[in-house]
Amino acid sequence: MAGIKDVAEAAGVSIATVSRALSGRGSVSSSAQEAVQQAAAELGYVVSSSASGLASGRTRNIGVLVPVINHWFYASVLEGISSSLMNEGYDTTLYQLTKDRAQREKIFSDFLLRQRVDAVIAVNVELDSEEVHALHALDKPLVGVGGPLPGVPTLHVDDEGISSLATEHLLSLGHERIGFIGGNEETDVDFRVPSHRLTGYERALTEAGIAVDDSLCVGADFTMPQAYQVAKQLLGNPKGRPTAVLAASDEMAIGAILAARDLGMQVPQELSVIGVDNHDLSEMFGLTTIEQRPHEQGNLAVAMLLRAIRGQEPAAANELEHKLVVRSSTTRPSSSS
């Protein structure tokens, strides 16, 4: 099996240069970098992560904290994180933060220390003061994706602005009875994303001079099946069904479209529907949505973290842009509505 000495001889450089070139630490000329990488590839040489970690004090392992795994948004952020880290030669260790207090304490007091991570990314997890202190006590670079964490640079979107923009789109088409499918108590834990999106919806209606009708607002768990069920109830509202619906996620918007179709309603002629995310399935359903690019959020979080790890510049909080993507699920209300 080829060793680092063999790579150095084949590339015509010193062992120290090989180490710098393959670890990404230290300055190496582009010609030397290319020669080392070519020699390593031809010889099948793989850097020992354990030996590299012992020598540098780094493990090339990043800890990622998430509240759930089985939602499209989180899966997309994680895909962006893991692919970017893999391209940079880093491993990813995933920790799911549930509501279980004992489990959370074990993660912060044991697992993060035992894995000897180089840095931590927290994705839409709301931490208490003790947990934030435990993260800072690691003395490692930290980056958040989602709501603000004290002393932690974070990538975030304007959730109120997102739902306000979606509501304004429906208002601009002439809709006044606009339903809202938001979150429930269980999904409103981390950073109150459903609450913020409800606030944006209410703000847009109020600014348009339209009173908020609580009977048009229902909650679900951000999944298609539950949104399908609550949409059926909403569309059967005895006080008058809405002519349009804003769902706080695309998955719930798709659930609403399926419910409308099963009730014999045509989308968008009898019901306009808009979501949030630009989910992979949104184009298939012709869904108008607000795009927030979660995969890119994961990429950007890693870029921020790597700059901090390499001491290039301190990471800073960033608000990410969102945009309206108009498709065929929204139109003007019919004259009979």
Q: pLDDT tens across 62-72, in order?
A: 999 998 888 88
**For the CA atoms of 251, 237, 325, 122, what is the dihedral angle to 10 degrees?**
-40
Q: Which residues of 86-96 are buried (b: 16+ CB within 10 A; e: fewer)?
A: eeeebbbeebe
User: What are the structural domains, with CATH classification, of the chain?
Assistant: 4-47 (no CATH), 61-157+294-321 (3.40.50.2300), 159-291 (3.40.50.2300)
Higher pLDDT, residue 144 or 116:
144
Which pLDDT score, from 0 to 100, does residue 41 have? Answer: 84
- Specify which of 84-93, 281-290, 318-327 reaches the highest per-range mean pLDDT: 281-290
Q: pLDDT tens across 143-195, in order?
A: 989 877 778 888 888 999 999 999 999 999 999 999 999 987 665 555 467 78
Q: pLDDT tens across 285-305, in order?
A: 999 999 999 999 999 999 999
Give the integer Cα–Cα distance in Å for 113 and 119. Answer: 11
Q: pLDDT tens across 121-139, in order?
A: 999 887 878 888 888 888 8
For helices 224-235 and 250-262, angle between their N-to-C axes, nearest 10 degrees: 50
Average pLDDT over residues 224-240: 90
